[in-house]
Amino acid sequence: MAKDFLKGVADEYDVVVIGSGLAGMTSANILGRAGHRVLLLEQHYKLGGLATWFLRPGGHTFDISLHGFPHGMIKSCRRYWSRDIADRIVQLKNIRFDNPQFSLTTTFNREDFTRLLTTQFGIEAATVSEFFDTARGMNFYDDQSTTTRQLFDRFFPGRDDVVRLLMEPITYANGSTLEDPAITYGIVFSNFMSKGVFIYEGGTDDLVARMKKELVSNGVDIRINCPVEQIEVSDSPVQGTRVAGVRVHGRSIRCRAVVSNANLRTTVLKMIGPEKLDRDFVEQTEAVRLNNSSTQVYMALKPGEEIDESSGDLFFTSTAEEFRTDLLLSRDITSRTFSFYYPRTRPTKKERYAIVSSTNANWSDWADLNPADYEASKQDLIETTIEALEKYIPGVRDKIDRAEAATPRTFQHYTMHESGASFGTKFEGLAVSRALGDQISGMYHAGSVGIIMSGWLGAINYGVIVSNEVDQLLVRESSAV
């Protein structure tokens, strides 16, 4: 008989959280800690969403999205998770770039970027300082019509090399392009520049295990292998349109609020359904563009083989003569970002070295390949990536124990994100996500949207914002009774 993943589940909760990405788990944790009855439903057999990992024989563990996040993660994890988690966040000090326009190594913070821009790129110190201040002064309520390209044109006209240095890592970090609103660049760039790039020591598996422990200790009922089919909505003259529950494995579970961490478009257009929403809102949602997807190649070294730490922690490489968004996404790959994982990534585990190569990618380049072509394309991706890596680490091919590839189809398969979107939606998604509660009382969305609210830090912080709103609603309604 098939396992009942809902065995023992209650008929009613205060809140149901759909999806255990970082935003979903953070919301669930805060609401559980506040004393609400919380059910967390995850369709996959693992928690974490895109913050995930996989194991392979030989003692190898591969991280999917543990490449770097801003210093702000320490504060967010300390406040909303635990000191235990926050204390494991460490800086990556060796960030490298190599492309036809420049090669350099940096600690990736304002001080070091100022040094590079003034000495290596010959920009006036006053211009650099003004640029940093402008980026740091940006906030969500700023002018949204200026694009990132216009911002760069204002400070560094005709300096494609400078734009590349400033933009390439952010495109990698959140999929934003020169055509997106400048605030999506300024906010994320300044977050990184404040203190540099950080990762979680112990690996994603350790982080998610600690998060799960916290969730359990805060009373959250966690269910994996539970894909929510529908968000149920009731309509009454007294209460208006409001959330009534969710449907999962053919069973209805009642609740007073729902936080969906699933893809925004899927949440609105499929799980709720257009018929329950204002026409304008549906049109606005339909117009939301998804962010791009990614490909990755995971390479593990044979036990006993090593890579020198001078290889760097994060290495932005490109063979393209100039910086162009379409080249970054092209199936004909020119840009690869290598993450090097030394044994210090998992200090308590077996001594292993791994390298993950990531490239932004278009869903359309992979979506319709037949099985044979798909396999061949993956193999080609692996081969060309190892070739590219050989340039920097001669002989690495012989040291590799395993190499595998993930494509936009892989990301869609595991997270149910439409088109395998790696960073949620473009900027306009944020307004739709925020307005969902005005359409249906008790309905919220927390997950990567609008570029700003994506990545590990953005997702966690969005989970915090939304859980506070849910808490207020639940407390308000309880005290009104």
Ligand X SMILES: Cc1cc2nc3c(=O)[nH]c(=O)nc-3n(C[C@H](O)[C@H](O)[C@H](O)COP(=O)(O)OP(=O)(O)OC[C@H]3O[C@@H](n4cnc5c(N)ncnc54)[C@H](O)[C@@H]3O)c2cc1C
Rank residues 243 and 457 by Cβ distance to ligand X and give the closer one: 457
Which member of 148, 191, 357, 415 binds ligand X (CB under 6 A)? 415
Rank residues 43 and 385 by Cβ distance to ligand X and give the closer one: 43
Q: Which two tokens stand for residue 381?
A: 């991706």
Q: How far is the CB of 246 from ligand X (least distance, A)?
A: 9
Question: How far apart, in Å, do the first and last CA atoms of the chain sit?
Answer: 44
Any contact of residue 451 with ligand X (CB under 6 A)? no
- Burial category of 415 from C-beta neighbours within 10 Å (exposed 0-12, middle 13-18, buried 19 and up): buried
Q: Which residue is nearest to ligand X (CB)?
A: 21
Among candidate residues 11, 23, 142, 1, the one with its CA nearest the CA of residue 446: 23
Rank residues 146 and 225 by Cβ distance to ligand X and give the closer one: 225
Any contact of residue 21 with ligand X (CB under 6 A)? yes
Q: How far is the CB of 296 from ligand X (least distance, A)?
A: 5
Any contact of residue 410 with ligand X (CB under 6 A)? no
Any contact of residue 261 with ligand X (CB under 6 A)? yes
Among candidate residues 149, 199, 201, the one with its CA nearest the CA of residue 176: 149
What is the rounded CA–CA span in Å between residue 168 and residue 337? 10
Q: Crossing angle of helices 148-155/182-195, nearest 10°?
A: 60
Vertex 12 angle, CA 9 and 15, to 5°: 100
Q: Which stretch binds ligand X (CB under 6 A): 39-47, 115-123, 153-161, 394-402?
A: 39-47
Any contact of residue 292 with ligand X (CB under 6 A)? no
Which member of 224, 327, 393, 416 binds ligand X (CB under 6 A)? 416
Any contact of residue 456 with ligand X (CB under 6 A)? yes
Per the CB < 8 A criterion, the answer to whether 39 and 253 are in contact is yes
Per the CB < 8 A criterion, the answer to whether 265 and 334 are in contact is no
Strands 314-318 and 293-301: unpaired
Which member of 16, 39, 51, 165 binds ligand X (CB under 6 A)? 51
What is the rounded CA–CA span in Å between residue 145 and residue 154? 14
How many helices and strands, by DSSP H and E, does the chain display?
A: 18, 18
Rank residues 33 and 67 by Cβ distance to ligand X and give the closer one: 67
Any contact of residue 181 with ligand X (CB under 6 A)? no
Rank residues 117 and 206 by Cβ distance to ligand X and give the closer one: 206
Site for ligand X in 55-114 (CB under 6 A): 64-65, 67-69
Beta strands in 291-342 (DSSP E): 293-301, 314-318, 335-341
Q: How far is the CB of 197 from ligand X (least distance, A)?
A: 9
Any contact of residue 407 with ligand X (CB under 6 A)? no
Q: How far is the CB of 464 from ligand X (least distance, A)?
A: 12
278: which DSSP letter? -
Size of the site for ligand X (CB under 6 A): 40
Site for ligand X in 208-227 (CB under 6 A): 227
Q: Which stretch binds ligand X (CB under 6 A): 5-13, 19-27, 112-120, 326-334?
A: 19-27
Q: Which two tokens stand for residue 34?
A: 């506040």
Which member of 357, 422, 425, 461 binds ligand X (CB under 6 A)? 422
Query: Helix, strand, coil: what percent of the chain each, to 5?
Result: 45, 25, 35
Rank residues 9 and 416 by Cβ distance to ligand X and give the closer one: 416
Any contact of residue 19 with ligand X (CB under 6 A)? yes
Site for ligand X in 120-139 (CB under 6 A): none
Any contact of residue 177 with ligand X (CB under 6 A)? no
Q: H/E element holding 41?
A: strand 38-41
Q: How far is the CB of 304 from ligand X (least distance, A)?
A: 28
Strands 314-318 and 400-406: unpaired
Any contact of residue 49 with ligand X (CB under 6 A)? yes
Any contact of residue 171 with ligand X (CB under 6 A)? no
Alpha-carbon torsion, ordered 245, 246, 251, 253, to 10 deg: -40
Any contact of residue 245 with ligand X (CB under 6 A)? no
Binding mask 344-373 for ligand X (x = CB under 6 A): --------------x---------------
Cβ within 8 Å of residue 87, ≥6 positions away: none
Which member of 152, 366, 423, 427 binds ligand X (CB under 6 A)? 423
Among candidate residues 65, 24, 68, the one with its CA nearest the CA of residue 42: 24
Per the CB < 8 A criterion, the answer to whether 341 and 356 are in contact is yes
Per the CB < 8 A criterion, the answer to whether 103 and 163 are in contact is no
Q: How far is the CB of 243 from ligand X (least distance, A)?
A: 15
Any contact of residue 41 with ligand X (CB under 6 A)? yes
Among candidate residues 298, 292, 384, 280, the one with its CA nearest the CA of residue 335: 384
Any contact of residue 335 with ligand X (CB under 6 A)? no
Q: How far is the CB of 408 from ligand X (least distance, A)?
A: 9
What is the rounded CA–CA span in Å between residue 122 and residue 359? 30
Q: Would you tell me which residues interact with ligand X (CB under 6 A)?
A: 18-24, 41-44, 49-51, 64-65, 67-69, 227-228, 261-262, 294, 296, 358, 411, 415-417, 422-424, 447-448, 454-457, 459
